[in-house]
Amino acid sequence: MKKKLTGFALLSSLFLLTACNATNTGGSGSKDSTAKSEQVSGDSSETEEVSYDDLYASVLDLYRPIALNGDTSAVPSNLSTEEAYSTNTIFEANRVGEKVQYSYVDINDDGSAELLIGTPDSVHALYYLDNDDKPVFAISAGTFAQSGYLNTLHFYKNGIIYSQLFHRMKPEAKAETYEIKDGVFNQLQSVDFSMSETTDGASKVGLGNEQTLDLSSEDWYDFDDSSSDETKDSSSDSKSNKETGMDINAIQNGDFSSIAGTWKNGKGYTMTFDKNGLVSDTEKVAIEYGKITDGYLKSSTGPKSGVGVGGGAIAFLPKGVSLTGSVTSSPNEKADDQSDKTKERLWVGQSLYGTTDDSYFFYKVD
């Protein structure tokens, strides 16, 4: 049953609740977390108040360690590409000193608030509740490239969500609009335009005269160190496992500490890593092109100078994960992985043909 946040319930909670770990960036004062809640209408005449912190708990637990400490060790490897990109935007925001917060805003005025993560000026991630009140990832925005694009998000009083995608050094851009309706996130328009004509593509999608939401007037809350005991235990176990093994999420973010040391394959070739990457005077791992797929991280090697012939594909394979055709961007190609999957491995090559017997895989030797 869809939960509705009634004006009366919200007004009452604003008067009754005391401040607790909330920041109103638009003025003075703060609110308790229970003010961030919905009224649930049950079969009886009674109503039950449910906190948005509870409804979005799994999402907050995902982003909390990243927003506070830049810790990506508990990020699942099975996230969609878009949602994984979203966690990276929060990691980057934390790295450059941005204070990442979150806010509950009823964008489409349907009585159920969406979760915005970022700042009033720069929202990095948007989640909403589906018809079963389960949190669903909608869209992300960030200042580092995804498929060549950067993007920003803007929210309008008519319920439209506007995303502008653009390049740093090129005029090509896209203006896209979305809406959340009946528990579903839908794209409405996608229009190509040139930044040489205008730096704001909102007019290209009919938003030129529409008003944006003033997110600075909303309540923005700090991430804290609290989470459910179950989540804490899960995160602790996950972190403990990854601290002693290959952490592909950290590697994707440029931290190679989990695989630091020397790796050797059956052909006698070795690769040595430190916390910053491949130890070599001439070669590097181009981790900026890295992508988690099929449970492992794939990237490429190339000249350290950035000039010259590129290298090959490289796969970072945790225990229990098999190499697939995705490593060479050929997901339909069968990879006859004959490596020891009880161990962490590296694979480097330009083609899967004839390179998947155990002797081609690198294992850590020190």
What pLDDT, in 10s, does the model give residues 245-288? 899 989 999 999 999 999 999 999 999 999 999 999 989 999 88
Q: What is the structure's pLDDT at 45?
A: 47
Separation CA 18–CA 32 (nearest Å): 6
The contacts found for 112-116 with CB under 8 angstroms, 24 or more apart, are 112/2, 112/3, 112/4, 112/5, 112/38, 113/5, 113/36, 113/38, 113/52, 114/138, 114/180, 115/52, 115/56, 115/59, 116/215
Separation CA 127–CA 117 (nearest Å): 9
Separation CA 231–CA 212 (nearest Å): 36
Q: What is the structure's pLDDT at 228?
A: 43
Q: What is the structure's pLDDT at 77?
A: 78
Burial 253-280 (b: 16+ CB within 10 A, else e): bebbebbbeebbbeeeeebebeeebbee
Cα-flanking dihedrals φ and ψ of residue 232, to 5°? Answer: -60, -45
**Residue 151, CB-side half-sphere exposure with 13 Å CA sphere:** 24
Q: What is the structure's pLDDT at 49?
A: 65
Separation CA 36–CA 221 (nearest Å): 10
Residues in the chain: 366
Cα-flanking dihedrals φ and ψ of residue 111, to 5°? Answer: 90, 0
Q: What is the structure's pLDDT at 241?
A: 37
Q: What is the structure's pLDDT at 232?
A: 42
Write down the pTM of the prediction: 0.56
Look at strands 270-274 and 277-278 and give their pairing: antiparallel
Q: What is the structure's pLDDT at 81?
A: 78
Separation CA 89–CA 86 (nearest Å): 5
Look at strands 291-293 and 101-105 and give their pairing: unpaired
Separation CA 123–CA 142 (nearest Å): 8
Q: What is the structure's pLDDT at 89?
A: 85
Q: What is the structure's pLDDT at 308?
A: 60
Give domain limits for the chain.
7-222, 245-364
Q: What is the structure's pLDDT at 139?
A: 95
* Parts of the chain with a pLDDT under 70: 1-49, 143-149, 225-244, 306-310, 331
Q: What is the structure's pLDDT at 144?
A: 54
Please identify which residue in the block is written with the tokens 């608030």.
113
